[in-house]
């Protein structure tokens, strides 16, 4: 429709009512003002969404996605009522049922297996923001088979950071935008931490601070960087270690920082044949040992007045040789293999550029030191008159972590930050509370389901070593995704991308119910998409589904709906309560704790669907609370068996994770005047709403930096309930748990992994940050598949959510394959040509667009634009289905067979992170023919009965 054709709004002017809540068009959690006006029937209508200028995250900024939330709310793809499958799985044939029947059915299915074998429930959720509730629910239910989407997203970034220094990027920490003098971005797509990064980059541009962006593709943030490093995918770790090599050679290392805050001086046993070779030397009371360079004695690291040596060697009390961690670092990183010339070809980064960037980092850190005259006291009680900063800030995300070497790469990047002394100092990276939360402050994983019982602790956690593995006596995995087994010993967030394949293979066992929320596993959230559909449909020799029951909850008619047996329709994000909690992933800033709510700014019972029919949907979180009560899960019922919480709002208000600490930190206590710790306040959510949907409480100035070692921070964190006691946070440059797993593989420590795992653990679990070749390349012929292929998300879309949105579809209705100019010339491709792109696993037909601002060996496309024909209530001929495509068809959940015929999971061997970006491909021009992407599938039937071709706000379907 042309602008001139649009009918003018001639209705008499009525002021909008503004309701303040939290955006959920991506995961950034900006504050929004939702303008509401009643229609002629008195029904609330969403008219307009703008940014909330008072909100700490976005300060009024709103992106294209955020303003298009109105079309998400009125999407024709919204589900309307619970659905029960009537046809074969995958056919999209359902009947609508009432909620009573749906809940009875779900309670029976879940209750039966809880009474027999709770681990037969696999409960996995996607990019939802209620992981805190869901994890608690899974623990109370008693299944160890729970995780959220982290394992297929960016767990390496989170795990690498937490293990190394107790933080990470995004929700965990941020650049000091106001003070930094040099900023580096690694592998950041435009949707990650979206508005905060835009605001931060604007600040840097205003101050003329140099921005260096490392990414194979130069779009978005990378396009406005002062310098772009068009790195080859999977080699970021090698590039970083070459910079580290240069810094070691130049002596540009903050030695004082390393001695104060890291394990660089700790002694490591250097006694090759001993069973403790490579472990930290310690006393029986666990105090780690250092060599005092003044006395020459080996003493505990926390001895008063000790001057630890970073070099040399020492003898421990039992006569074993030991060397400081830093000595091992120097030996490793000064190796010629990290010379810029030695890594230039593999990384695609010229040697002189690596050298110059190393120099610039050193110059910014050490020549442009920042001093704040703010006295503070460290955890040892030592007084400091100033806060001294090394103004280099780094931010990184999925691009460097979604590789089979991603954990080590993320650790390498953190090591770079640490040797420059730029963690939580003025001008550097800054922790966002409740972080830092180092390994010692994190739970360990729990397994061992028993009938009708909760687990002894949280399902997910950070293993400290082999003792925390969740394996059976025969070494097989306890979890369906094999997290915390030899496949991925330090899995942390689970391996969601392996759940369906393992359940189908009944390896390590079959499951009875697969329960998923917001996880589009039969399409863009799975590797091997077609294979996954077939696994969901597969039957055994008795004609029974191999995955017997599938419950799925979503607000929209996504591709996954067709594969469910029971569909529980969720509300839109404007119709439900939600909590952005300090117990989960809050919206804190480096100088303040902050959390937020969503609340029903419109009542779902009044909002009609595309046919003008009433919807009967329920917020997933309230459904979980209801199920918890019906199943009599301990955390959800009182001692007399009565239901503890009436819905999610009640849970948010009254649930206490520990005494007087609950999901929301603000307005606690009977009068609402307590912060962090306080009794539940029945008016708490209303107080948040009155405050603009969020709460913020500032950290005292003396506690704002060096939080990992700052006594004022520790005292304040205990006062506001984000810590219970002081926590030792010594940065782990040398990560001992990795060495323990190596000792197991060497046969020196129990348990011993199966022979087939040993070499891989020896090779990849280096306790010092390391780089090794991504796995996919090992199993294939480089000459046959010479190129890398990857995806990234655009600023205007978030996963599959946006490409059904009437406004956002106009920005990205289809996706071409962006092919480097040199490859186009070699293969004879021009813009608009069609081509076949193949991997070891599959073949897709795509339309080509030439691009020169990209690594010359890497083609790429936007993620999750392609839709399956007939899904999301789009027309079967929608451009998303006919011109859009998924790269997922080329990626398998298993790697190509190795020489011994074994096929490993396509994941990081340490954390199990899905290695999406290791993909290797070839490209050939397609013969003239249909101008449609391949593969195409039989159009899905809809779980809703009307397909809407033309969506326009204000037309009858919104009424």
In whole angstroms, what is the distance from residue 80 CA to residue 58 CA?
A: 32
In the complex, the smallest distance separating the C-beta of residue 585 from ligand SF4, rounded to whole angstroms, is 13
Would you call the peptide bond into 434 cis, given omega within 30 degrees of 0 as the criterion? yes
Taking the least distance from each CB to ligand SF4, the nearer of 28 and 362 is 28
* Among 19-27, 36-44, 132-140, 267-275, the segment contacting ligand SF4 (CB under 6 A): 19-27
465-476 burial, b at 16+ Cβ within 10 Å, e below that, comes to bbebbbbeeeee
Burial of 256 (0-12, 13-18, 19+ CB in 10 A): exposed
Please list every residue from 56 through 95 that binds ligand SF4, using CB under 6 A.
58, 62-63, 65-66
Convert 113-132 into a string of H (helix), E (strand) and C (coil). Answer: HHHHCHHHEEEEECCCCCHH
| Element housing 331 (H / E) | helix 325-333
In the complex, the smallest distance separating the C-beta of residue 808 from ligand SF4, rounded to whole angstroms, is 10
Could you tell me the two tokens for 370?
């920042």
Contact string (CB under 6 A) for ligand SF4, positions 195-224, x = contact: x-----------------------------
In the complex, the smallest distance separating the C-beta of residue 622 from ligand SF4, rounded to whole angstroms, is 22
Contact string (CB under 6 A) for ligand SF4, positions 640-679, x = contact: ----------------------------------------
Among residues 19, 21, 23, 439, the one that binds ligand SF4 under rule CB under 6 A: 23
In the complex, the smallest distance separating the C-beta of residue 26 from ligand SF4, rounded to whole angstroms, is 3
Taking the least distance from each CB to ligand SF4, the nearer of 62 and 247 is 62
Taking the least distance from each CB to ligand SF4, the nearer of 137 and 695 is 695
DSSP-derived letter for residue 754 is P
In whole angstroms, what is the distance from residue 809 CA to residue 266 CA?
A: 55
Distances (CA, A) of 382 to 19, 282, 378: 49, 24, 5
In the complex, the smallest distance separating the C-beta of residue 479 from ligand SF4, rounded to whole angstroms, is 32
Strands (E), 769-833: 787-792, 817-820
Taking the least distance from each CB to ligand SF4, the nearer of 63 and 764 is 63
Taking the least distance from each CB to ligand SF4, the nearer of 231 and 808 is 808
Question: Under a CB-based contact definition with an 8 Å cutoff, are residues 135 and 526 in contact?
Answer: no
* Among 55-63, 86-94, 638-646, 929-937, the segment contacting ligand SF4 (CB under 6 A): 55-63
In whole angstroms, what is the distance from residue 241 CA to residue 243 CA?
A: 5
Taking the least distance from each CB to ligand SF4, the nearer of 194 and 409 is 194
In whole angstroms, what is the distance from residue 74 CA to residue 69 CA?
A: 9
DSSP-derived letter for residue 703 is G
In whole angstroms, what is the distance from residue 462 CA to residue 306 CA?
A: 31
Residue length, the chain?
959
In whole angstroms, what is the distance from residue 99 CA to residue 95 CA?
A: 13
In the complex, the smallest distance separating the C-beta of residue 393 from ligand SF4, rounded to whole angstroms, is 20
In whole angstroms, what is the distance from residue 626 CA to residue 148 CA?
A: 20
In whole angstroms, what is the distance from residue 266 CA to residue 324 CA?
A: 5
Taking the least distance from each CB to ligand SF4, the nearer of 414 and 799 is 799
Nearby residues of 200 by Cβ (< 8 Å), 6 or more positions away: 174, 175, 177
Q: Measured at CB, which residue is nearest to ligand SF4?
A: 66
Contact string (CB under 6 A) for ligand SF4, positions 474-503, x = contact: ------------------------------
Q: Does 805 bind ligand SF4 (CB under 6 A)?
A: no
Taking the least distance from each CB to ligand SF4, the nearer of 28 and 188 is 28
Taking the least distance from each CB to ligand SF4, the nearer of 62 and 480 is 62
Contact string (CB under 6 A) for ligand SF4, positions 165-194, x = contact: -----------------------------x
Question: Under a CB-based contact definition with an 8 Å cutoff, are residues 860 and 219 in contact?
Answer: no
In whole angstroms, what is the distance from residue 693 CA to residue 846 CA?
A: 44
Closest to 274 measured CA to CA, from 739, 815, 925, 873: 739
Taking the least distance from each CB to ligand SF4, the nearer of 196 and 237 is 196
> What is the helix, strand, coil percentage profile of the chain, to 5?
30, 20, 50
**Dihedral, CA of residue 102, residue 108, residue 110 and residue 112, to nearest 10:** -170
Q: Tell me how many residues contact ligand SF4 (CB under 6 A).
A: 13
Taking the least distance from each CB to ligand SF4, the nearer of 32 and 362 is 32
In whole angstroms, what is the distance from residue 244 CA to residue 338 CA?
A: 9
Taking the least distance from each CB to ligand SF4, the nearer of 28 and 637 is 28
In the complex, the smallest distance separating the C-beta of residue 851 from ligand SF4, rounded to whole angstroms, is 25
In the complex, the smallest distance separating the C-beta of residue 260 from ligand SF4, rounded to whole angstroms, is 37
Contact string (CB under 6 A) for ligand SF4, positions 24-53, x = contact: -xx-xxx-----------------------
Per-residue DSSP letters for 401-426? HSSTTHHHHHHHHHHHHHHTT-BSST
Taking the least distance from each CB to ligand SF4, the nearer of 65 and 708 is 65
Taking the least distance from each CB to ligand SF4, the nearer of 194 and 858 is 194
In the complex, the smallest distance separating the C-beta of residue 195 from ligand SF4, rounded to whole angstroms, is 4
In the complex, the smallest distance separating the C-beta of residue 65 from ligand SF4, rounded to whole angstroms, is 4
What phi, psi does 502 have (nearest 5°)?
Answer: -70, -40
Could you tell me the two tokens for 651?
């849970």
In whole angstroms, what is the distance from residue 416 CA to residue 639 CA?
A: 52
In whole angstroms, what is the distance from residue 757 CA to residue 481 CA?
A: 17
* Among 18-26, 213-221, 413-421, 853-861, the segment contacting ligand SF4 (CB under 6 A): 18-26
Taking the least distance from each CB to ligand SF4, the nearer of 194 and 242 is 194
* Among 20-28, 321-329, 779-787, 867-875, the segment contacting ligand SF4 (CB under 6 A): 20-28
Taking the least distance from each CB to ligand SF4, the nearer of 188 and 264 is 188
Helices (H), ranges, 4-46 = none
Could you tell me how far CA 875 lies from the centroid of its own chain? 32
Nearby residues of 58 by Cβ (< 8 Å), 6 or more positions away: 23, 28, 30, 31, 51, 52, 195, 196, 199
Taking the least distance from each CB to ligand SF4, the nearer of 195 and 215 is 195
In the complex, the smallest distance separating the C-beta of residue 403 from ligand SF4, rounded to whole angstroms, is 25
In the complex, the smallest distance separating the C-beta of residue 784 from ligand SF4, rounded to whole angstroms, is 40
In the complex, the smallest distance separating the C-beta of residue 194 from ligand SF4, rounded to whole angstroms, is 4
Question: Under a CB-based contact definition with an 8 Å cutoff, are residues 470 and 483 in contact?
Answer: yes
In the complex, the smallest distance separating the C-beta of residue 67 from ligand SF4, rounded to whole angstroms, is 8
In the complex, the smallest distance separating the C-beta of residue 796 from ligand SF4, rounded to whole angstroms, is 9
Q: What is the Cβ-side half-sphere exposure of residue 31, based on CA atoms within 13 angstroms? A: 26
* Among 21-29, 311-319, 712-720, 885-893, the segment contacting ligand SF4 (CB under 6 A): 21-29
In the complex, the smallest distance separating the C-beta of residue 32 from ligand SF4, rounded to whole angstroms, is 7
In the complex, the smallest distance separating the C-beta of residue 125 from ligand SF4, rounded to whole angstroms, is 19
**Strands 858-862 and 787-792, how do they pair?**
parallel
Taking the least distance from each CB to ligand SF4, the nearer of 23 and 551 is 23
In the complex, the smallest distance separating the C-beta of residue 63 from ligand SF4, rounded to whole angstroms, is 3
Binding residues for ligand SF4, rule: CB under 6 A, are 23, 25-26, 28-30, 58, 62-63, 65-66, 194-195
């Amino acid at each position: 429709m042309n602008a001139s054709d649009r009918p003018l709004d001639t209705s008499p002017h009525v002021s909008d009512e503004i309701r303040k809540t939290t955006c959920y068009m991506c995961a950034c959690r900006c504050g929004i003002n939702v303008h509401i006006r009643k229609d002629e029937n008195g029904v609330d209508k969403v008219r307009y969404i703008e940014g909330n200028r008072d909100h700490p995250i976005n300060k009024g900024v709103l992106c294209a996605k955020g303003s298009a939330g109105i079309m998400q709310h009125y999407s024709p793809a919204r589900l309307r009522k619970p659905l029960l499958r009537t046809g074969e799985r995958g056919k999209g044939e359902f009947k609508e049922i009432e909620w009573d029947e749906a809940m009875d059915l779900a309670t029976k299915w879940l209750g039966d297996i809880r009474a027999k074998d709770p681990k037969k429930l696999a409960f996995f959720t996607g990019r939802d923001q209620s992981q805190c509730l869901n994890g608690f629910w899974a623990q109370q239910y008693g299944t160890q088979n729970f995780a959220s989407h982290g394992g297929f997203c960016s767990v390496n970034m989170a795990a690498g950071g937490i293990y190394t220094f107790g933080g990470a990027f995004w929700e965990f920490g941020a650049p000091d935008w106001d003070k930094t003098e040099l900023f580096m971005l690694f592998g950041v797509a435009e949707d990650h931490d979206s508005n905060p990064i835009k605001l931060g980059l604007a600040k840097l541009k205003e101050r003329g601070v140099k921005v260096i962006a490392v990414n194979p593709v130069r779009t978005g943030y990378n396009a406005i960087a002062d310098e772009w490093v068009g790195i080859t995918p999977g080699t970021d770790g090698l590039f970083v270690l070459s910079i580290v090599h240069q810094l070691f050679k130049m002596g540009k290392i903050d030695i004082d920082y390393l001695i104060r805050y890291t394990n660089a001086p700790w002694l490591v046993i250097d006694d090759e044949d001993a069973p403790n070779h490579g472990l930290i030397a310690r006393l029986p009371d666990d105090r780690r040992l250092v060599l005092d360079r003044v006395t020459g004695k080996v003493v505990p690291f926390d001895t008063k007045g000790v001057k630890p040596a970073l070099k040399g060697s020492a003898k421990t009390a039992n006569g074993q040789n030991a060397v400081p961690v830093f000595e091992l670092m120097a030996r490793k990183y000064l190796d010629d293999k990290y010379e810029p010339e030695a890594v230039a070809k593999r990384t695609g980064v010229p040697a002189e550029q690596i050298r110059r960037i190393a120099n610039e980092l050193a110059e910014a850190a050490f020549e442009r030191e920042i001093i704040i005259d703010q006295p503070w006291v460290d955890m040892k009680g030592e007084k400091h008159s100033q806060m001294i900063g090394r103004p280099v800030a780094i931010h990184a995300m999925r691009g460097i972590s979604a590789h089979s070497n991603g954990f080590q790469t993320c650790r390498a990047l953190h090591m770079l930050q640490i040797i420059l002394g730029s963690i939580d100092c003025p001008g550097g990276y800054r922790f966002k509370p409740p972080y830092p939360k180092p390994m010692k402050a994190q739970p360990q994983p729990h397994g061992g389901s028993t009938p009708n019982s909760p687990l002894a602790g949280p399902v997910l956690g950070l293993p400290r070593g082999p003792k925390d593995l969740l394996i059976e006596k025969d070494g097989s995995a306890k979890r369906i995704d094999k997290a915390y087994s030899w496949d991925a010993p330090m899995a942390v967030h689970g391996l969601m991308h392996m759940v369906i394949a393992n359940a189908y293979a009944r390896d390590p066992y079959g499951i009875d119910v697969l329960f998923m929320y917001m996880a589009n596993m039969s399409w863009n959230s799975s590797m091997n998409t077609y294979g996954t559909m077939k696994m969901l449909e597969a039957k055994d020799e008795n004609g029974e589904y191999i995955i017997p029951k599938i419950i799925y909850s979503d607000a929209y008619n996504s591709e996954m709906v067709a594969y469910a047996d029971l569909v529980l329709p969720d509300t839109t994000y404007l119709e439900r309560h939600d909590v952005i909690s300090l117990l989960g992933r809050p919206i804190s800033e480096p100088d303040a704790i902050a959390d937020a709510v969503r609340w029903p700014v419109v009542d779902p019972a009044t909002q009609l669907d595309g046919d003008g029919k009433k919807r009967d949907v329920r917020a997933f979180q309230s459904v979980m609370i209801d199920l918890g009560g019906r199943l009599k899960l301990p955390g959800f019922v009182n001692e007399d068996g009565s239901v503890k919480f009436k819905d999610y709002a009640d849970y948010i208000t009254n649930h206490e994770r520990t005494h007087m600490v609950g999901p929301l930190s603000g307005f606690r206590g009977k009068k609402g005047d307590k912060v962090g710790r306080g009794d539940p306040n029945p008016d708490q959510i209303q107080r948040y709403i009155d405050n603009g949907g969020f709460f913020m409480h500032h950290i005292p100035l003396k506690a704002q930096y060096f939080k990992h070692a700052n006594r004022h921070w520790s005292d304040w964190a205990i006062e506001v309930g984000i810590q219970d006691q002081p926590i030792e946070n010594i940065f782990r440059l040398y990560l001992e748990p990795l060495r323990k797993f190596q000792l197991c593989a060497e046969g020196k420590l129990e348990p011993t992994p199966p022979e087939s795992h040993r070499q891989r653990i020896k090779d990849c679990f280096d306790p010092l940050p390391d780089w090794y070749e991504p796995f996919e390349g090992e199993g294939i012929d480089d000459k046959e598949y010479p190129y890398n292929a990857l995806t990234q998300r655009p600023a205007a879309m978030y996963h599959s959510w946006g490409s059904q949105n009437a406004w956002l579809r106009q920005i990205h209705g289809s996706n071409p394959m962006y092919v480097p100019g040199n490859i186009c010339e070699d293969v004879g491709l021009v813009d608009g040509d069609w081509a076949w792109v193949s991997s070891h696993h599959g073949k897709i037909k795509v339309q080509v667009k030439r691009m020169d601002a990209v690594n010359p060996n890497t083609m790429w496309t936007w993620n999750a634009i392609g839709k399956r024909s007939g899904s999301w209530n789009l027309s079967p001929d929608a451009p998303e289905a006919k011109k859009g495509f998924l790269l997922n068809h080329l990626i398998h959940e298993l790697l190509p067979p190795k020489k011994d015929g074994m096929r490993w999971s396509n994941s990081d061997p340490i954390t199990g992170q899905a290695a999406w970006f290791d993909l290797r491909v070839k490209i050939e021009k397609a013969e003239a023919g249909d101008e449609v992407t391949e593969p195409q599938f039989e159009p899905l039937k809809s779980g809703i009965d009307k397909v809407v071709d033309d969506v326009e706000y204000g037309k009858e379907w919104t009424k």
